[in-house]
């Protein structure tokens, strides 16, 4: 059954000028909402998803019938309580779950964009989210919350649309992508482009997709989401189905089997070109050069911040967040910060991590009291 049947969209029929100076004459935004907007429209939280996420952050994802990617955190009675809050989550620009991206039809050619889709940035994604908030007739959000790339979007909201947000919660994220992170992304992109079925991005009508390349890209990326101690604890050097080496080139170690499973399952739900575009947007992200320095980027004193990091996250280490906090402190803006001790690595923000959940719950409770909602 086609996924479009389950996707809510709005069409924006006005030009969007991208950071590249290219223009999208029209575009669609796929989104989901959870809970009810109150009469004062003061209880809206915008959740920004990570690289491979989508708008189905909680409840059952009707496309694949699996739990939403943040169901541990968002829902009735949970940390982000949809009995109280009106939660908005949209698929990012360039994505492959309904928002305009490389697999969307180009209105000029009536064929999928492919690589004719313009290169985008995190700021472009947030400009589209801002248009969605306009369409929902919400003047100011209670909070913008996101992990990993979602945290980048949250920071962009603070820098570009701070007047529309009361509080920002970047989790396991940074104000820029490091050289190491760019390197891992480039290896993944090269794996996709080396796949014979990629066809320079023009594979949509070929019935053959660059699954092998995308699978390898996912396997590479997934290593960065885990810590060495977590890998050792979960898999060690354990063999999958034997006590002895086979002395053949087959899947023997449990970690090999795990990574192959991650790659195979990923290609069934994600588009290879979207992976290229979104990783490039993350690589371009650097608020320290875009806004004339971090202090200028976060100069809105009316914003409240809550930064959360994880001690074993080597993809977005705590030191990166502390750099942001030092810049924000120069403007005497109130900042909350917590480093959660865990060995689960970067992906801890997606897992049932009690100290993380209690930290976020306390911050939200404090903001509710402050804003009297």
* Catalytic site includes residue 195: no
**135 near 90, Cβ under 8 Å?**
no
The Cα 279–Cα 282 span in angstroms is 5
The Cα 190–Cα 183 span in angstroms is 11
Residues in the chain: 373
Backbone angles phi, psi at 65, to 5 degrees: 65, 25
Q: Residue 103: CB partners within 8 Å, gap ≥ 6?
A: 96, 112, 113, 204, 271, 273, 274
* Catalytic site includes residue 148: yes
* Catalytic site includes residue 49: no
Backbone angles phi, psi at 316, to 5 degrees: -130, 80
Q: Residue 304: CB partners within 8 Å, gap ≥ 6?
A: 166, 167, 168, 333, 334, 335, 336, 367, 370
The Cα 198–Cα 195 span in angstroms is 5
Catalytic-labelled residue, pool 54, 167, 346, 347: 346
Radius of gyration over alpha carbons of the chain, in Å? 21
The Cα 303–Cα 44 span in angstroms is 16
Catalytic-labelled residue, pool 104, 148, 274, 312: 148
Give strand ranges (E) for the chain: 9-12, 16-17, 23-24, 27-34, 44-48, 74-75, 80-81, 86-90, 141-147, 165-171, 304-310, 335-340
Catalytic-labelled residue, pool 42, 313, 336, 347: 313
Tokens of 300: 């809105």
**196 near 190, Cβ under 8 Å?**
no
The Cα 319–Cα 336 span in angstroms is 15
Helices (H) and strands (E) in the chain, counts: 11, 12
**153 near 146, Cβ under 8 Å?**
yes
Output the CA–CA distances (angstroms, integers) from residue 364 to 173, 306, 358, 368, 372, in the order listed: 19, 9, 10, 6, 12
Strands 165-171 and 304-310 come out as parallel
- Catalytic sites, residue numbers: 148, 313, 346
């Amino acid at each position: 059954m086609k996924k479009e049947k389950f996707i809510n969209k709005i069409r924006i029929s006005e030009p969007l000028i991208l950071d590249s100076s290219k223009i999208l004459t029209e575009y669609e935004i796929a989104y989901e909402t959870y809970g009810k907007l109150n009469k004062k429209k003061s209880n809206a939280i915008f959740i920004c998803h990570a690289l491979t996420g989508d708008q189905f952050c909680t409840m059952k994802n009707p496309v694949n019938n699996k739990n939403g990617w943040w169901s541990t955190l968002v829902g009735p009675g949970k940390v982000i309580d949809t009995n109280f809050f009106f939660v908005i989550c949209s698929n990012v620009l360039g994505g492959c779950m309904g928002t305009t991206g490389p697999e969307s039809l180009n209105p000029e050619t009536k064929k999928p964009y492919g690589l004719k889709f313009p290169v985008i940035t995190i700021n472009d994604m947030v400009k589209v989210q801002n248009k969605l908030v306009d369409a929902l007739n919400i003047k100011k959000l209670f909070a913008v919350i996101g992990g990993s790339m979602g945290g980048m979007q949250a920071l962009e909201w603070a820098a570009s649309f701070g007047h529309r947000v009361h509080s920002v919660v970047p989790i396991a994220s940074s104000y820029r992508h490091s050289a190491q992170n760019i390197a891992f992304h480039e290896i993944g992109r090269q794996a996709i482009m080396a796949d014979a079925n990629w066809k320079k991005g023009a594979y949509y009508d070929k019935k053959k997709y660059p699954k092998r390349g995308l699978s390898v890209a996912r396997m590479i990326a997934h290593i960065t989401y885990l810590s060495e101690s977590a890998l050792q604890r979960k898999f060690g050097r354990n063999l999958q189905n034997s006590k002895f080496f086979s002395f053949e080139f087959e899947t023997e170690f449990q970690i090999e089997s795990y990574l192959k499973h991650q790659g195979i399952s990923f290609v069934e739900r994600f588009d290879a070109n979207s992976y290229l575009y979104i990783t490039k947007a993350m690589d371009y992200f650097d608020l320290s050069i875009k806004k004339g320095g971090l202090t200028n980027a976060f100069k809105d004193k009316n914003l409240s911040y809550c930064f959360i990091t994880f001690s074993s996250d080597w993809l977005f280490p705590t030191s990166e967040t502390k750099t942001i906090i030092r810049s924000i402190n120069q403007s005497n803006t109130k900042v909350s910060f917590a480093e959660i001790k865990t060995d689960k690595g970067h992906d801890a923000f997606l897992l049932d991590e009690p100290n993380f959940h209690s930290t976020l719950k306390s911050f939200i409770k404090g903001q509710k009291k402050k804003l009297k909602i």
